[in-house]
């Protein structure tokens, strides 16, 4: 393998220029995935360069993992092999931006924060708040279908992508979809690439749908007396015609975490519901009044906040997955995907399964996603069996559980994705049809595909 | 006459009442809403997934393709027989299997009629958002196959945004389940790939859909214009004010007069164009948006703005819009509905171009669009008995499609590719693009037994639109 890396090194250097490639051990270590460092890191600046890199790597039998800001890179099983790190940090161009059409075409290395800044000049935004927040790249957000609390109001990346260009392992650049909001010509390959974790091709351009920025926003906080009451409140609120951009359910530890270091820090011992609404003053007044009417019977008061205070809390929510691990290395973060109705019950069951471990959870019950951080477990064996019990619990509610962050040593025995379903054979065949050499992120995705 | 061996096998796979095979019984199945192609060898109406599996095994044994069919309302020939084959009709798999309101989900068989699903949950305050004009007849299975849209997809997205999971029979008889009742199931999004694949990747036998909350308030407005360009400019101006109406439709004067003659919906017959605008949501938001929209319309020289004052008035306006194709069928022996997409800001330019095309080919074209999302439905009027007209219709339609692509748009926004536009796919896609689509098809449908001759170009006729001769209404 070493010799094929060497000969590919020369070919890649000739292709992208020797200043766009590095084998410096420190650089390679910084590009490591699950502790495995590549032999080379390349920095293409065009879609054609990406395609060429994939072709050269595939021909030489080398493996490639694309990344940008590493905000989602911890998700996945450890790579079987990892020779070339494909950094997309030099691909930040905006190709088309038509504010009046509400569309934008960007390269994958562009950071969400930069796009939001640009769009905000025209009172527009891309309503996504993936883990990693503004630091997340567009490519990474789409490749992992990463969603945050805004998923409640706007859906997931799959709902905002109009089309894309994809570099294939044969060195081709193909397109799917377009720059218009309705398009049914051909199979929707963008759907296939979104959430494929870089295992089928590299997204080199994405056409996205933008939305008008809400005129004003307000955040409402309800402190429920129990998860059972939280469920009742969620049921009642979601049955009203009120519209929320974000809808977050947090357990007491999650609430403490969310408020920590913000002006809203208070000692929380109860589950809380955090909601954000957008619109005109009248719409927000009405929203608050309806919430107050609804909560009065339950004896729950509606706290409101806005501006920088609320912003700081929502930013904390985006940083949850990363910050909990930084605060306490070894923290396990899982994502449970559940039927909407099961979220509170899952939280309650999970709390018990986690036993003595510290358990902080942020959920979006309106869409059925719960992120939970587990720390303070006795040892890896204890952590592993906790995760298995949580996964069993998610399954018993008709859901699934993915381990998004955990110590690498836990990944091998666990399989972070859980068991695939009866459609896995099709996924395996698609992988074989598009990436026959298994050049892209081998072993990382579901079923170690 | 004794049934041939194929029919005997199909009867064994289902039941005697489930198979049509006499020539006169097959006539209807030459058609969908595009045109007539060929007669199938047989039509079979399975009642369960297991029967679908048995049918597909019979078809494979006889080396015959299978063409799934819902209500036959499709506009691109997707449910017609391109070569030979067995039509699998889903009219007997029309059960709503489960309604789960707390989870905002329903599980349905593919033959459930779109509007019946909404009706089944409307008392509880829910509905199924995709609303194609044919929603009284078309099926959810057909919506999934075509990734159908409708006027209200402007705000709520098309079918793919409302489908979470599918049960699918593959050509080898295997049954697989994609997606789930919850969103973001780990793994590749095969549901997203299958929606809009026009029956060429698998036969869908059950669908899990998202149900949406009915809005608290709805306002329907008609803005009337003396100049078409004022109407098209209003469209972009509404968006620029940060408003996404639930629907934003446009009809030109020619179309209006036909609609009014057929429906008596109250559309003005002396105007150049109208916008049909609907805003939905919280009462307060609807009132404010209505005021803003009215102001924008006036700024763009709307002659008059009317509001629907009752549910009946609203229903009548929509009836006019949704039956517009049929209404135009009253004024010419035949019409050809096109379906193209452009960026919405290019509407004024596109309309000017359409007028040029009308002149160039000496054909009358009615303009009706989902203006808010740039989805055009030019209706070309003609007489199919005149070969010269037929030829001009084909050229005019192709010119319009080429223009859509030049503007950065697409050759179909919601009607699908089918047999109508598969040879036009190279306008949008390179050989490399098409090669990767073919690989997907080979994974699911390696022997080409599912709905052959659709979506992908066959290469037999180059760059041609299949001109159809709709029989009109």
Which are the contacts of B18, defined by CB distance < 8 A and separation ≥ 6? Answer: B10, B11, B44, B45, B46, B47, B51, B92
pLDDT band of B263, cuts 50, 70, 90: confident
Query: pLDDT digit string (tens) for A430-442?
Result: 999 999 999 999 9
Find the helix packing angle between A424-434 and B431-444, rounded to 10°: 150
Q: Is residue A81 part of a domain?
A: yes
In a shared domain, residues A312 and A343: no
Predicted confidence (pLDDT) at residue A163 exceeds the cutoff of 70: yes
- Residue that is last in its domain, among A89, A108, A131: A89
Using the structure block, give the residue that is written with the tokens 């979470």. B164
The DSSP secondary structure of B162-220, one letter per residue, reads GEEEEEEE-TTS-EEEEE-SSS--SS--HHHHHTTSTTSS-EEEEEEEE-EEPPSEEEE
- Listing from the earlier edge strand, what are the strands of the sheet with A358-364? A302-305, A216-223, A272-279, A246-250, A358-364, A369-375, A332-337, A400-405
Using the structure block, give the residue that is written with the tokens 């999934």. B144
Q: Which of A100, A241, A445 sits opposite B236 (nearest CB)?
A: A100
DSSP, res A78: P
Taking one residue from A and the other from B, the number of pairs with CB-CB distance under 8 angstroms is 251
In a shared domain, residues A114 and A9: no
More confident residue, B264 or A105: A105
List chain A residues with CB under 8 Å of B439. Answer: 433-434
What count of Cα atoms within 13 Å lies in the side-chain half-sphere of residue B33? 19
Predicted confidence (pLDDT) at residue A73 exceeds the cutoff of 90: yes
pLDDT at B121: 98
Average pLDDT for A180-189: 95
Are A181 and B374 in contact (CB < 8 Å)?
yes
Q: What CA–CA distance (Å, rounded) separates B131 from B115?
A: 8
Q: 3-state SS of chain B: helix, strand, coil percent to 5? A: 40, 20, 40
For A341, the 3-state DSSP assignment is helix
Kindly report the CATH number assigned to the domain that includes residue A120: 3.30.465.10
Q: What CA–CA distance (Å, rounded) separates B116 from A428?
A: 37
Quote the distance between the C-alpha of residue A405 and its chain's center.
12
Kindly report the CATH number assigned to the domain that includes residue A340: 3.30.70.2740
List chain B residues with CB under 8 Å of A159. Answer: 157, 161
Lowest mean pLDDT segment, chosen from A247-251, A258-262, B220-224: A258-262
Residue B338 near residue B376 (C-beta atoms within 8 A): yes
For B459, the 3-state DSSP assignment is coil
Within a 10 A sphere around the Cβ of B36, how many other Cβ atoms? 18
In a shared domain, residues A163 and A109: yes
Query: pLDDT digit string (tens) for B429-447?
Result: 999 999 999 999 999 999 9
When scoring A180, A198, A242, A341 by the number of chain B Cβ atoms within 10 A, the one with the most, hence best to mutate, is A180
A236 to chain B: nearest residue by CA? B102
Extract the tokens encoding A240: 């009203």
Q: What CA–CA distance (Å, rounded) separates A150 from A234?
A: 16
Average pLDDT for B181-190: 94
Average pLDDT for B267-276: 94
Which are the contacts of B236, defined by CB distance < 8 A and separation ≥ 6? Answer: A100, B344, B345, B347
In a shared domain, residues A111 and A70: no
Are B437 and A178 in contact (CB < 8 Å)?
no
Q: Is residue A32 part of a domain?
A: yes
Interstrand relation of B19-20 and A216-223 (parallel, antiparallel or unpaired): unpaired
pLDDT band of B461, cuts 50, 70, 90: low
Residue B247 near residue B283 (C-beta atoms within 8 A): no
Average pLDDT for B400-412: 96
Q: Is residue A421 part of a domain?
A: no
Query: pLDDT digit string (tens) for B78-118?
Result: 999 998 999 999 999 999 999 999 999 999 999 999 999 99
A432 to chain B: nearest residue by CA? B443
pLDDT at B250: 95
Q: Which helix (H) or strand (E) holds B42?
A: strand B42-44
pLDDT at B472: 33
Extract the tokens encoding A263: 């002006």
pLDDT at B375: 95
In a shared domain, residues A198 and A241: no
Query: pLDDT digit string (tens) for B123-160?
Result: 999 999 999 989 999 999 999 999 999 989 888 999 99
pLDDT band of A261, cuts 50, 70, 90: confident
- Name the A residues in 420-449 with CB < 8 Å from any B CB: 420-427, 429-430, 433-434, 445-447
Q: Is residue A288 part of a domain?
A: yes
- Name the B residues in 387-416 with CB < 8 Å from any A CB: 408-416
Instruction: Tell me the helices (H) and strands (E) count for chain A, helix number first.
Output: 15, 19
Please state the domain count of chain A: 4
- Residue that is last in its domain, among A262, A296, A317: A317
Using the structure block, give the residue that is written with the tokens 């009629």. B113
Q: What are phi and psi of A281, to 5 degrees?
A: -55, -45
For B307, the 3-state DSSP assignment is strand
Q: Which of A145, A188, A423 sits opposite B178 (nearest CB)?
A: A423
List chain A residues with CB under 8 Å of B429. Answer: 175, 185-186
Domains of chain B: 1-214+416-456 (3.30.465.10), 217-327 (3.30.70.2190), 332-415 (3.30.70.2740)
- CB contact B49 to A (< 8 Å): no
In a shared domain, residues A120 and A164: yes
| Helix spans in B306-386 (H) | 311-322, 324-328, 347-361
Query: pLDDT digit string (tens) for A271-293?
Result: 999 999 999 999 999 999 999 99
**Residue whose C-alpha is closest to residue A169's, from A57, A83, A84:** A57
Residue A362 near residue A373 (C-beta atoms within 8 A): no
Average pLDDT for B381-386: 92
Q: Which residues pair with A67 in a beta bridge?
A: A87
Query: pLDDT digit string (tens) for B300-323?
Result: 999 999 999 999 999 988 988 888
Q: Which of B187, B282, B433 sits opposite A286 (nearest CB)?
A: B282
Which are the contacts of A235, defined by CB distance < 8 A and separation ≥ 6? Answer: B102
**Residue whose C-alpha is closest to residue B231's, from B209, B205, B252:** B252
Q: How far is B243 from chain A (nearest CA, A)?
A: 7
Predicted confidence (pLDDT) at residue A354 exceeds the cutoff of 90: no
E strands along A12-123, which residues?
Answer: 21-22, 40-42, 64-67, 84-87, 94-98, 103-106
For B409, the 3-state DSSP assignment is coil
- CB contact B189 to A (< 8 Å): yes
pLDDT at B462: 55
When scoring B107, B173, B184 by the number of chain A Cβ atoms within 10 A, the one with the most, hence best to mutate, is B184
For chain A, state the CA radius of gyration: 22
DSSP, res A247: E
Q: Is residue A435 part of a domain?
A: no
In a shared domain, residues A102 and A205: yes
- CB contact B236 to A (< 8 Å): yes
Query: pLDDT digit string (tens) for A327-349?
Result: 999 999 999 999 999 999 999 99
pLDDT at B473: 27
Predicted confidence (pLDDT) at residue A3 exceeds the cutoff of 90: no
pLDDT at B467: 61
Q: Which residues pair with A212 in a beta bridge?
A: A124
- CB contact B417 to A (< 8 Å): yes
Residue B236 near residue B347 (C-beta atoms within 8 A): yes
pLDDT at B471: 36
List chain B residues with CB under 8 Å of A283. Answer: 282, 284-285, 288
Q: Is residue A77 part of a domain?
A: yes
Q: Is residue A426 part of a domain?
A: no
pLDDT at A221: 96
Percent of chain A with pLDDT strictly greater than 90: 92
- Residue that is last in its domain, among A212, A245, A276: A212
Query: pLDDT digit string (tens) for A239-248?
Result: 999 999 999 9
Which are the contacts of B461, defined by CB distance < 8 A and separation ≥ 6? Answer: B423
pLDDT band of B324, cuts 50, 70, 90: confident
Q: Which of A155, A184, A420 sits opposite B196 (nearest CB)?
A: A184
Domain range for A269 is 216-317
Residue A340 near residue A368 (C-beta atoms within 8 A): yes
B409 to chain A: nearest residue by CA? A180
In a shared domain, residues A202 and A305: no
Average pLDDT for A61-84: 97
Predicted confidence (pLDDT) at residue B415 exceeds the cutoff of 70: yes
Quote the distance between the C-alpha of residue A182 and its chain's center.
25
Which are the contacts of A347, defined by CB distance < 8 A and separation ≥ 6? Answer: A227, A249, A251, A271, A361, A363, A370, A372
Q: Is residue A439 part of a domain?
A: no
Query: pLDDT digit string (tens) for B23-62?
Result: 999 988 988 888 777 899 999 999 999 999 999 999 999 9
Q: How far is B124 from chain A (nearest CA, A)?
A: 10
Query: pLDDT digit string (tens) for B337-367?
Result: 999 999 988 999 999 999 999 999 999 999 9
Mean pLDDT of chain B: 93
Kindly report the CATH number assigned to the domain that includes residue A294: 3.30.70.2190
Extract the tokens encoding B324: 């517009």
Q: Which residues pair with A33 in a beta bridge?
A: A36
A449 to chain B: nearest residue by CA? B187
In a shared domain, residues A353 and A404: yes
Average pLDDT for A203-221: 96
CA-based diameter of chain A, in Å?
73
In a shared domain, residues A184 and A240: no
List chain B residues with CB under 8 Å of A130. Answer: none
Within a 10 A sphere around the Cβ of B306, how many other Cβ atoms? 16
Q: Which of A192, A282, A426 sits opposite B288 (nearest CB)?
A: A282
pLDDT at A197: 98
Are A123 and B236 in contact (CB < 8 Å)?
no
Are B439 and A102 in contact (CB < 8 Å)?
no
- Name the B residues in 306-345 with CB < 8 Å from any A CB: 341-345
Are A339 and B182 in contact (CB < 8 Å)?
yes
In a shared domain, residues A204 and A102: yes
List chain A residues with CB under 8 Å of B455. Answer: 186-187
Which are the contacts of B261, defined by CB distance < 8 A and separation ≥ 6? Answer: B327, B330, B331
The DSSP secondary structure of A178-215, one letter per residue, reads -SSS---SS--HHHHHTTSTTSS-EEEEEEEE-EEPPS
ipTM comes to 0.96
In a shared domain, residues A169 and A73: no
A159 to chain B: nearest residue by CA? B161
């Amino acid at each position: 393998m070493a010799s094929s890396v060497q000969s590919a090194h020369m070919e890649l250097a000739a292709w992208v220029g020797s200043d766009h490639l590095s084998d410096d051990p420190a650089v390679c270590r910084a590009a490591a995935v699950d502790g495995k460092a590549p032999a080379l890191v390349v920095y293409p600046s065009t879609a054609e360069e990406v395609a060429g890199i994939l072709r050269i790597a595939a021909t030489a039998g080398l493996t490639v993992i694309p990344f940008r800001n590493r905000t989602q890179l911890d998700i996945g099983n450890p790579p079987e092999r990892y020779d070339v790190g494909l950094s997309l940090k030099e691909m930040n161009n905006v190709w088309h931006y038509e504010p009046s059409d509400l569309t934008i075409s960007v390269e994958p290395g562009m950071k969400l924060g930069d796009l939001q800044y640009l769009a905000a000049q025209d009172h527009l935004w891309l309503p996504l708040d993936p883990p990693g927040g503004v630091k997340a790249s567009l490519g990474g957000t789409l490749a992992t279908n990463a969603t945050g609390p805004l998923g409640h109001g706007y859906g997931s990346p799959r709902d905002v992508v109009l089309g894309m260009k994809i570099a294939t392992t044969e060195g081709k650049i193909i397109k799917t979809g377009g720059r218009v909001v309705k398009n049914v010509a051909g199979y929707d390959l963008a759907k296939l690439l979104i959430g494929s974790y870089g295992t089928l091709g590299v997204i080199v351009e994405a056409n996205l749908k933008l939305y008008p920025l809400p005129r004003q926003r307000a955040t409402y906080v309800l402190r429920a007396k129990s998860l059972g009451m939280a469920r009742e409140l969620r049921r009642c609120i979601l049955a009203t015609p009120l519209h929320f951009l974000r809808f977050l359910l947090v357990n007491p530890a999650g609430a403490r975490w969310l408020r920590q270091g913000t002006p809203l820090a208070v000692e929380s011992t109860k589950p809380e519901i955090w909601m954000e609404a957008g619109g005109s003053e009248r719409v927000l007044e009405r929203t608050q009044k309806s919430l107050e009417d609804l909560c009065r019977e339950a004896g729950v008061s509606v706290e409101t906040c806005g501006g920088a205070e609320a912003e700081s809390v929502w930013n904390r929510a985006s940083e949850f997955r990363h910050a909990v691990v930084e605060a306490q290395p070894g923290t396990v973060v899982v994502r449970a995907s559940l039927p909407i109705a099961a979220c509170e019950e899952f939280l309650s069951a999970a709390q018990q399964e986690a036993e003595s471990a510290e358990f902080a959870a942020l959920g979006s019950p309106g869409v059925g996603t719960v992120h939970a951080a587990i720390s303070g477990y006795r040892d890896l064996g204890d952590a592993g069996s906790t995760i298995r019990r949580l996964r069993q619990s998610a399954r018993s509610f008709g859901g699934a559980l993915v381990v998004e962050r955990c110590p690498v040593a836990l990944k091998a025995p666990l399989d972070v994705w859980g068991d695939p379903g009866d459609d896995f054979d099709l996924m395996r065949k698609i992988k074989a049809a598009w990436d026959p050499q298994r050049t892209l992120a081998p072993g990382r995705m579901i079923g170690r595909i | 006459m004794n049934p041939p061996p194929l029919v005997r096998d199909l009867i064994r796979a289902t039941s005697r009442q489930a198979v049509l095979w006499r020539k006169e019984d097959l006539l209807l199945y030459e058609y969908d809403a595009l045109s007539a192609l060929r007669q199938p060898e047989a039509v079979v109406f399975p009642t369960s997934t297991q029967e679908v599996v048995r049918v597909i095994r019979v078809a494979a044994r006889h080396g015959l393709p299978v063409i799934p069919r819902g209500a036959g309302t499709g506009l691109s020939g997707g449910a017609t027989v391109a070569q030979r084959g067995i039509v699998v009709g889903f009219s007997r798999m029309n059960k709503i299997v489960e309604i789960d309101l707390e989870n905002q989900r329903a599980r349905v068989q593919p033959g459930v009629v779109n509007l019946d699903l909404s009706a089944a949950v409307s008392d509880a305050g829910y509905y199924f958002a995709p609303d194609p004009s044919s929603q009284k007849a078309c099926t959810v299975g057909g919506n999934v196959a075509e990734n159908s849209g409708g006027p209200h997809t402007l705000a709520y997205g098309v079918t793919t945004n409302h489908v979470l999971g599918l049960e699918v029979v593959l050509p080898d008889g295997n049954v697989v389940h994609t997606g789930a009742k919850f969103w973001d199931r780990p793994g590749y999004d095969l549901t997203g790939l299958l929606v809009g694949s026009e029956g060429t990747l698998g036969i869908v036998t059950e669908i899990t859909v998202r149900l949406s909350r009915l809005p608290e308030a709805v306002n329907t407005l008609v803005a009337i214009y003396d100049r078409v360009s004022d109407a098209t400019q209003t469209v972009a101006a509404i968006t620029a004010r940060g408003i996404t109406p639930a629907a934003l439709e446009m009809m030109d004067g020619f179309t209006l007069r036909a609609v009014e003659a057929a429906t008596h919906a109250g559309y003005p017959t002396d105007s150049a164009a109208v916008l049909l605008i609907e805003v939905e949501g919280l009462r307060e938001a609807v009132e404010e948006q209505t005021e803003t929209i009215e102001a924008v319309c006036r700024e763009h020289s709307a002659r008059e703005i009317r509001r629907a004052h009752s549910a009946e008035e609203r229903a009548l306006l929509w009836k006019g819009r949704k039956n517009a194709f049929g209404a135009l069928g009253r004024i010419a022996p035949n019409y050809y509905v096109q379906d193209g997409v452009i960026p919405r800001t290019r509407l004024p330019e596109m309309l000017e171009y359409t007028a040029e095309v009308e002149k160039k080919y000496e054909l009358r074209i009615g303009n009706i669009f989902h203006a808010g999302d740039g989805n055009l439905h030019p209706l070309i009027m003609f007489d199919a008995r005149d070969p010269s007209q037929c030829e001009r219709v084909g050229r005019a339609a192709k010119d319009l499609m080429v223009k859509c692509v030049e503007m950065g748009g697409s050759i179909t926004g919601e009607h699908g590719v089918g047999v109508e536009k598969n040879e036009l796919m190279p306008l949008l896609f390179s050989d490399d693009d098409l090669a990767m689509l073919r690989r997907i098809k080979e994974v699911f449908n390696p022997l080409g037994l599912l709905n052959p001759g659709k979506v992908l170009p066959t290469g037999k006729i180059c760059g041609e639109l299949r001109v159809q001769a709709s029989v009109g209404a």
